[in-house]
A and B are shown apart, each in its own frame.
Chain A
Amino acid sequence: MYRILEKKTLAPSVIEMQIDAPLVARSAQAGQFIILRVDADGERIPLTVAGQDRARGSVKIIFGAVGATTMRLARKEAGDHIEDFVGPLGRPTVTENIRRALVVGGGVGTAIALPVAEKLHGEGKFVHSIVGFRNKDLVILKEDFAACSDLFDLVTDDGSAGRKALVTLPLKEALEKGGYDCMIAIGPLPMMKYAVETCRPYGIRTVVSMNPIMIDGTGMCGCCRLTVGGKMRFACVDGPDFDGYEVDFDEAIARSGQYREEEARRREEACRLFEGVK
């Protein structure tokens, strides 16, 4: 059992937790993920590490309470326990050979983009962050991004905060200006796909953080397989970061919807169970 040390609501349905897991905190790096189970009969879900406090022995996770399991997790309070918490899994994000980076985050994915931006910033690199949300209520971590970015663009779909645009617009403008040598995108699959496509004519290195359906997270089940550069790769052990140009996004999108019906049914059940949480 793993204790929840702190809980914060960053935006409606977007929650930050600090989990007591000293061994994970000790070795976690930006780009890696953990797998947790909320209860003894729960599913294993991967969440990318949003930060760690080595001295305190805690790992930060940020998640949107959008599915049955994340809704269950959101019901837990500081002081409660979760059943399982294992990690860090996957390979850390490689920041070598980058001088000027574009860090693109979308929705809850910005929570995972933040440690990458912070890492680059800490290494003295030029960081241009572009983060996008649906509307102003969902905006998270604005100050944190501003603090670690040399340039910072905030966009929303409806223009209620920052510019009314998709992340690809400021991304394209930045690419036009030039001088960047890497684009790191973390967020929903369609966002990552179009961020990569925006970069393609400019030929700069792209890195995407894939988050497919996983079970064990150690390479044992093959559920998280992706086609990258025509080859089958397992996101859990070969990734989660991959060269964006090489990833077959359409296949990844199809695979991510494999259990859509079951998920919808379980989500509805969870909604009924936690009346009022919607």
Chain B
Amino acid sequence: MMPNTQTSKTPMPTRDPKERVRDFGEVATGYTAEMAINEAARCLDCKNSPCVSGCPVGIAIPRFIRHLKSGDCEGAYRVILESSSLPAVCGRVCPQESQCESKCVRGIKGEPVAIGRLERYAADAHVEGPREEKRETNGRKVAVIGSGPSGLACAASLAGKGYAVTVFEALHEAGGVLTYGIPGFRLPGSIVKAEIGRLTARGVKIEKNTVIGRTLTVDELFENGFEAVFIGTGAGLPSFMGIPGESLCGVYSANEFLTRVNLMRAYEKGAATPVSPLGQTVVVGGGNVAMDAARTALRMGASGVKIVYRRGERELPARKEEVEHAKEEGVEFCLLRNPVEILGYENEDRKDTRAGRVRGVRVIRMELGEPDERGRRRPVEVRGSEYDMACDTLIMAIGTSPNPLIKQTTAGLETDKKGLPCDQRGRDGHLAPRRFCGRRRRHGRRDGHPRDGRGEEGGGGDRRVSEGKTERITGRMRFFRLFVNEKRSAYAYF
């Protein structure tokens, strides 16, 4: 069959910006069968499959697309499932443009094949399909801490190998960032629920309202018969800039703002966990979380939303599609600007009921200097260029750091400078044989064979059980570890 020579991606149907900005329904409605077949036909089925090397879990991309060419969604889905546990999620929120699609040969002249959209299409066609059968476990218990993308992927992988997996979640709903963070217009809650439902149908237990490190410690998990513990607690602690005014009322971390809206449903009338009227809203940051916060603010009735980001348009770390959607919806981009102070209504006039609330933000212009170690041009302040922007709400979306709770409560768990658990090494400094180590990956950089990310046995003494996939999802899940109590020796069967 001749490939489709169309140079651009088959467009993704999206809802009218004017209509969609009034609700939390999904923005991109997904390919139809015809669109999927048309787009699949753009794949050249290259022998060396460069796209696969761009995928953190090495999905056999040309092979799944081959199934789609003939309209075989189920076949395509099964191929994806060989390598990935959360296709409906990843098809929507992976940064494909910097991963698989960046390697696509079609991208040299024109746009690459829309691999992400095809993955989503194959997954969606299945979500409504038959449920998974519950399988007998091998009776070996593994604990997974955190039910975010990392934990879910790990649980799926281990359950597939027959382990009796229990996932511990601190909140009252499973899904981690997929539930509290990513809004429904980008990743509908029903998709997340369906993926979690697939896991529980396979026998994975999910214990909600359980904070490991407080309700139970890691050591107690071992005492309770878990042979291995996977730490997938993510990087959930919000960062602030350390500038004056960050504790004013009306200043939120993106985590708080998104949690109020997504997890606690502040958008429902009379919601128990509200957000104050937003008014003019400034979102600081340029990543996916900043885009999510900005677009959520619009949907929550903000009178205007501005993104303040210290670098330029090309440097925005968010997925291109999210930036485009944000612009279509009316988010204004104030690039090469950085906040230096958040301004509040003064406390002196006590009659002013707004005292202690934010009234604006002082920003400074930036210009791009020399590239940093990651190759991104470093933003430099333009001296004396400060000016004030009025706003009623300010949302900080400048990143997060690892939650230190597990480290604080687990004796002997080594962490690096940033607080990420390290590979648990033996006393001689080498990876101890028969310990389980996840593989740490930097966002956008592969540092291991994709096989490492799928819970298969690695070579030599260390066996890796982890899911690189989660890296693709958020770009923030920088660590996940399985480690085993020294007293246990029965963990060589992974």
| Chain A residues close to B by CB (< 8 Å) | 23-24, 27, 37, 41-44, 68-69, 83-89, 215-216, 218-223, 225-227, 232, 234, 237, 248, 250-251, 254-255, 257-259, 261-262, 266, 269
| Chain B residues close to A by CB (< 8 Å) | 170-172, 180, 208-211, 214-216, 236-238, 240, 242, 246-247, 249-250, 252-253, 255-256, 259-260, 263-265, 268, 270, 272-274, 276, 347, 355-356, 403-405
Complex: how many Å from CA A262 to CA B272?
A: 9
Contacts of A86 in B (CB 8 A): 170, 172, 209-211, 215
Give the residue of A27, A83, A225, A234 whose beta carbon is less than 8 angstroms from that of B172. A83
Whether the Cβ atoms of B249 and A258 lie closer than 8 Å is yes
Complex: how many Å from CA A144 to CA B24?
A: 52
Known contacts A84-B209, A221-B259, A222-B256; A215/B274 CB under 8 A? no
Complex: how many Å from CA A35 to CA B479?
A: 27
Total of A-B residue pairs, C-beta within 8 Å: 118
Contacts of B256 in A (CB 8 A): 215, 221-223
Complex: how many Å from CA A225 to CA B396?
A: 14
Whether the Cβ atoms of A219 and B405 lie closer than 8 Å is yes
Whether the Cβ atoms of A23 and B253 lie closer than 8 Å is no
Whether the Cβ atoms of A220 and B264 lie closer than 8 Å is no
Whether the Cβ atoms of A218 and B405 lie closer than 8 Å is yes
Complex: how many Å from CA A251 to CA B273?
A: 21
Complex: how many Å from CA A69 to CA B236?
A: 27
Contacts of A84 in B (CB 8 A): 172, 208-209
Nearest B-chain residue to A72, judged by Cβ: B272
Give the residue of B209, B215, B255, B276 whose beta carbon is less than 8 angstroms from that of A262. B276
Complex: how many Å from CA A234 to CA B252?
A: 13
CB distance from B476 to the nearest CB of A (A): 12
CB distance from A38 to the nearest CB of B (A): 9
Nearest A-chain residue to B170, judged by Cβ: A218
Give the residue of A220, A232, A248, A255 whose beta carbon is less than 8 angstroms from that of B403. A220
Whether the Cβ atoms of B355 and A216 lie closer than 8 Å is no
Whether the Cβ atoms of B264 and A215 lie closer than 8 Å is yes
Contacts of B265 in A (CB 8 A): 41
Whether the Cβ atoms of A255 and B215 lie closer than 8 Å is no
CB distance from A119 to the nearest CB of B (A): 18
Give the residue of A23, A41, A215 whose beta carbon is less than 8 angstroms from that of B210. A23
Contacts of B215 in A (CB 8 A): 23-24, 27, 86-88
Complex: how many Å from CA A61 to CA B255?
A: 28
Whether the Cβ atoms of A227 and B255 lie closer than 8 Å is no
Not counting A88-B214, A262-B276, a sample of 10 additional A-B residue pairs whose C-beta atoms are within 8 angstroms of each other reads A44-B172, A68-B272, A85-B209, A86-B170, A219-B236, A219-B403, A220-B259, A225-B246, A254-B347, A259-B276
Interface residue SS majority, chain B: loop
Whether the Cβ atoms of A69 and B210 lie closer than 8 Å is no
CB distance from B170 to the nearest CB of A (A): 5
Whether the Cβ atoms of B214 and A87 lie closer than 8 Å is yes
Whether the Cβ atoms of B247 and A225 lie closer than 8 Å is yes
Contacts of A250 in B (CB 8 A): 347
17 A-B pairs (CB sep. < 8 Å) = A41-B272, A42-B272, A43-B273, A83-B172, A84-B208, A89-B214, A218-B171, A219-B403, A220-B237, A220-B403, A222-B237, A225-B240, A227-B247, A251-B247, A254-B355, A255-B247, A262-B274
Contacts of A218 in B (CB 8 A): 170-171, 211, 236, 403, 405
Contacts of A261 in B (CB 8 A): 276
Chain A CB within 10 A, most for which of B172, B208, B347: B172
Complex: how many Å from CA A227 to CA B356?
A: 14
Complex: how many Å from CA A223 to CA B171?
A: 16
Nearest A-chain residue to B215, judged by Cβ: A23
Whether the Cβ atoms of B211 and A266 lie closer than 8 Å is no
Whether the Cβ atoms of B255 and A221 lie closer than 8 Å is yes
Nearest B-chain residue to A227, judged by Cβ: B247
Whether the Cβ atoms of B274 and A259 lie closer than 8 Å is yes
Contacts of B171 in A (CB 8 A): 216, 218
Nearest B-chain residue to A42, judged by Cβ: B272
CB distance from A1 to the nearest CB of B (A): 10
Complex: how many Å from CA A194 to CA B274?
A: 31
Contacts of A254 in B (CB 8 A): 249, 347, 355-356
Complex: how many Å from CA A216 to CA B242?
A: 22
Complex: how many Å from CA A216 to CA B171?
A: 7
Contacts of B238 in A (CB 8 A): 220-222
Contacts of A226 in B (CB 8 A): 247
CB distance from B231 to the nearest CB of A (A): 14
CB distance from A115 to the nearest CB of B (A): 17
Whether the Cβ atoms of A255 and B249 lie closer than 8 Å is yes
Complex: how many Å from CA A262 to CA B249?
A: 14
Contacts of B263 in A (CB 8 A): 215
Whether the Cβ atoms of B270 and A266 lie closer than 8 Å is yes
Contacts of A27 in B (CB 8 A): 214-216
CB distance from A109 to the nearest CB of B (A): 22
Contacts of B347 in A (CB 8 A): 250, 254
Complex: how many Å from CA A227 to CA B240?
A: 13
Contacts of A225 in B (CB 8 A): 240, 246-247
Complex: how many Å from CA A42 to CA B161?
A: 38
Known contacts A41-B265, A44-B172, A88-B215; A216/B247 CB under 8 A? no
